[in-house]
Structure 1
Amino acid sequence: MEEILSLEGETDSIPPNSAQYQETIVNGNPPMPGAAQNPTSTGSDGPDSDCESGSDSDSEDEVEQNLQLQTLEAELSSNPCNYEAHVQYIRLLRKMGAIEKLRLAREAMSELFPLTPTMWQEWAKDEASIGTGPEAVHAIEKIYQRGVLDYLSVSLWCEYLSFVLKSEEMVRDCSSADISKARNLFESALTAAGLHVAEGMKIWEAYRDFEQTIFQTIDPSDIQAKEKQIQRIRTIFHRQLSVPLVNMRSTLQAYSAWEMEQRNDLAVESSDLDGVPSHIASAYQRALEGYNARVHLEEQILRQDMSESEKLQQYMIYLKFEQSSGDPARVQVLYERAIADFPLSSDLWLDYTRYLDKTFKGGKIVREVYCRATKNCPWVGELWVRYLLCLERGNASEKELASVFGKSLQCTFSTIDEYLDLFLTRVDGLRRRLLFTTEVEDVLNYSLIRETFQNASDYLLQHLKNTDGLVHLHGYWARLELSLGTDLVAARGVWESLLRICGSMLEAWQGYIAMEIELGHINEARSLYKRCYSKRFPGTGSEDICRSWLRFERQFGTLEDFDHAVQKIDRFHLHLIELNIVVCLLNGIFHFSWLK
């Protein structure tokens, strides 16, 4: 539908110092290599020897490509998270024209990673080059729909809009249903990128051009329909003029000229605002002031002569400015621009999601950003933890929460504490939903918590042995076995399993004893003291547990119990003294000062 909208070939309108311009020039999108092309279609008048040489060369290339293909397939089979291998595999399949394998490869990569705008553009164009039927058109639209969600890209949105308007038969015939579909798509594009200071105007202008073309198709005698369409175009102009964008004056002049065509006497030859309705003039002036306040910041993030760290710092300065201005939509668009330039900056994703958590409180927008954040930086445990919390705030289903939690455990984090935090966050969420949710899902029961604790213990045991983290995990587990599972035997079993692993940790014994005392099980607590008072704990641990036992007997025991504890502890201290004397004699450094 060339007469309605043409958005391709607009590199001239992209700032030449922008990353998008460079990507457009360097990463042009060639058509899909055709597998059926005749390699001898050119130069066929040459000697037979040249043909044979060319054939040999083609054969060698094919052998080399097949070897590369096998190598990449083996690598992806053993290491499916190798991003660069995915990229090379797709590039090679595209070169070979292996359509079906290429589709599968792209789907596999998109499941694990976000694709760049260029990769989505190539995918859509490849599919468009081999299929034109309704099913193919629908599939290509789906590709664009997915692509615009990965990163903010005005050029990808423009291609998406252009494709839809060219491919929809009903839109070409001005069908009301598909015109409505196109308008909804334009509104989605404006929501995503209409506030993009440097490039948002492209979408606004395309939207106006589309509505102008619709206007041209209306029967001149249908005055009411024409007036309604004029108002649509006027509204788009008014909306655009209220947004800080590049080339605002040219937009105002275009608006004035358009109103003149509608026989509204705006004085385009004098001041730009002469004759413009006062509320539009005021909105324009505010937008112009907003643009002037941002133009220096825009120049900084579009500079090509600074390092990546400097550019990221400029984005952070710009973001602070937008946050101080108090418009969440503008802040979000700028974050999206920054993410598009720095997709692997975990600090940027953390900052972005923190802002969204504070501003939108776990809505759908926040959930989608967390999904993208964990695909871009899957190695950051904090993002997964906060993703789970976001889902819980949004009342996500247990199926979705379990899925995200499962994906998080497949990632490689830099510290074992990040895994522990994930397990604890999962348990926290299950506990809260069991205790405080009025409508508990059928799949939710305490066995899920027990299973999570067991998996955590099995998973973390070798890495957290003799650490406070493992003690905390088992203490939490035992407490929930009592409060939610109402199973004292299971709670004791949790502590006993910990003691088999971390019996030399004073904190493990103290936690077990504290539980029994809290439950009023004095004899069981005393039995634990008798089991552990003679253990050699690190530092002053042995003295600490002995003093703790004596305090316990003062508070809960009989005189006989207290005397028995004193007798046991004195005998243990004497044993320690004898043992220390032997050790010191063996080391030749016996001194009596420590006996004083």
Structure 2
Amino acid sequence: MPDTTDMPDTNNMDTDNLSSSDMSPPENNVEVVLETPMQLEVTVEQPALPPPAPQEESETEQAQKTLNTLELIPEIADQLNQDNSQYDLHVQLISLLQQADLADQLEMARENMHDIYPLTENMWLDWINDARKEAQTEQGEERLRQIYGEAEKDYFSIAIWKSYIDFILEKFHSQIGTDGKEQPSMDDVAELIDSTREDLLRAVRACNYHVLQSHEIWNPYIDFELEILERYPSPDGFAKVKQLFLERLDALHIACEETFNKYSTFISTYDNANYENSLVEANKIYAKTKEAAEARDYYEQQLVCEPNPFRFPKISSWTHPRSHRIRFAERNWIFPRCILSIY
């Protein structure tokens, strides 16, 4: 047993005599420092307020605006009396007269400008729309037809021809009679159908060679013929409409697929027993037209998108379904389109 008499008595050890180094922690110990909790700032975005609604003009402001317009009209008219070749003044005068709602003076201003310059498409449409308001009378209709004729002479416009088509069909439906209204006699109906058909065909012939947009004129026309067939069905009427579809499928137009689908619906409605044979016959025509239309579409897009007319692809290279060259009449019709695309 070891002798413990020489061992120090730790219980009686004087701790006051211990140095601070004896009490310090080991060098490898990690000192832990507790930080105060992080303060998170949360920003709540306020929903964006809608922009303030535009304030309507007060009666005073409107009156002042009208007064300013009326003061400008005689000033511009005097300038035109001195020199009526100033295009911008004609346009400005017409615009001011429209704002002032001076119909008689507006009519005269339009006529004066048209004596010197061709009007723009929008100016023609404005004039036409004003004239259509008075077209319920015989004199008003005659004047409207004169304006359409003058617009046609200025240059070609699908939009103006569409307006003409709308006018003709609106007149037809107002006179043909509907349920609840007095029906015209059959003689009157036949005369109305013939005159309407001739008016519509005038537009169809004018737009026939517009490969990209002619369907906008032809479709309302064929819908008219389908309506007549539905109202007064007959074998001759069916044969007539079928021939119109086949002739249209043979004409080069970008929307030929739409025409073929309309023809399919027509046959299934009126001659479903011979549907397959009729579609096979039509498809032989449609396939050639579709192939040519796909090739032609590139050039049509160039005509629409190319800002420089001198960079148009050579027109002689544009294909046609039969001869792979454009017909002479179609070529003559394309040149004005190229020129008009500049303006």
TM-score normalised by structure 2 residue count: 0.72
| Deviation (angstroms), 1:319 | 5.9
For the 8 Å contact 2:158–2:213, the answer to whether it is kept is yes
Of residues 202, 224, 233, the one that matches 1:188 is 202
Amino acid at match of 2:251: V
Give the aligned partner of residue 74 of structure 1.
78
Amino acid at match of 1:300: Q
The unaligned stretches of length 5 or more in structure 1 are 1-49, 221-225, 269-273, 344-596
Of residues 265, 270, 292, the one that matches 1:262 is 270
**Whole-Å Cα distance in 2 between the matches of residues 217 and 284 of structure 1?**
29
Give the aligned partner of residue 333 of structure 1.
333
Q: Deviations over 1:82-119 (max 9, x none)?
A: 12211111111011100000011111111211122221
Give the aligned partner of residue 257 of structure 2.
249
SS of residue in 1 equivalent to 2:210: coil
**Whole-Å Cα distance in 2 between the matches of residues 321 and 152 of structure 1?**
21
SS of residue in 1 equivalent to 2:252: coil
| Deviation (angstroms), 1:152 | 1.5
For the 8 Å contact 2:214–2:253, the answer to whether it is kept is yes
Greater Cα radius of gyration, structure 1 or 2: 2
Of residues 141, 155, 160, the one that matches 2:159 is 155
Q: What is the 5 A alignment of 1:554-593?
A: none
| Deviation (angstroms), 1:239 | 1.6
Go from structure 1 to structure 2 and tell me whether the alpha carbon gap of 1:322 and 1:76 turns closer, same or farther (over 3 Å shift). Answer: farther
**Whole-Å Cα distance in 1 between the matches of residues 156 and 250 of structure 2?**
22
| Deviation (angstroms), 1:123 | 0.7
Amino acid at match of 2:292: G
For the 8 Å contact 2:304–2:341, the answer to whether it is kept is no
SS of residue in 2 equivalent to 1:76: helix
Q: What is the 5 A alignment of 1:258-407?
A: 258-265=266-273, 275-276=278-279, 278=281, 280-303=282-305, 308-309=307-308, 312-315=309-312, 317-318=314-315, 321=318, 325-342=325-342
Q: Deviations over 1:470-500 (max 9, x none)?
A: xxxxxxxxxxxxxxxxxxxxxxxxxxxxxxx
Give the aligned partner of residue 512 of structure 1.
none
| Deviation (angstroms), 1:56 | 3.2
Give the aligned partner of residue 222 of structure 2.
208
| Deviation (angstroms), 1:199 | 0.8
**Whole-Å Cα distance in 2 between the matches of residues 202 and 212 of structure 1?**
16
| Deviation (angstroms), 1:59 | 3.4
| Deviation (angstroms), 1:170 | 4.5
**Whole-Å Cα distance in 1 between the matches of residues 121 and 274 of structure 2?**
42
**Whole-Å Cα distance in 1 between the matches of residues 112 and 291 of structure 2?**
47
Go from structure 1 to structure 2 and tell me whether the alpha carbon gap of 1:120 and 1:319 turns closer, same or farther (over 3 Å shift). Answer: farther
Q: Deviations over 1:265-311 (max 9, x none)?
A: 4557xxxxx64364x444323322221221111122222xx5x32xx
**Whole-Å Cα distance in 1 between the matches of residues 193 and 114 of structure 2?**
31
Give the aligned partner of residue 27 of structure 2.
none
Amino acid at match of 1:286: K
Q: How many residues align?
A: 276
Give the aligned partner of residue 107 of structure 1.
111
- Structure 1 position 232 matched with structure 2 position 240: yes
Go from structure 1 to structure 2 and tell me whether the alpha carbon gap of 1:235 and 1:315 turns closer, same or farther (over 3 Å shift). Answer: farther
The structure carrying a bigger helix percent of its residues is 1
Give the root-mean-square deviation of aligned CA atoms: 2.8
Amino acid at match of 1:321: W
For the 8 Å contact 2:128–2:148, the answer to whether it is kept is yes
The unaligned stretches of length 5 or more in structure 2 are 1-54, 178-183
For the 8 Å contact 1:237–1:255, the answer to whether it is kept is yes
**Whole-Å Cα distance in 2 between the matches of residues 75 and 68 of structure 1?**
11
**Whole-Å Cα distance in 2 between the matches of residues 93 and 103 of structure 1?**
9
Amino acid at match of 2:295: A
Amino acid at match of 1:140: L
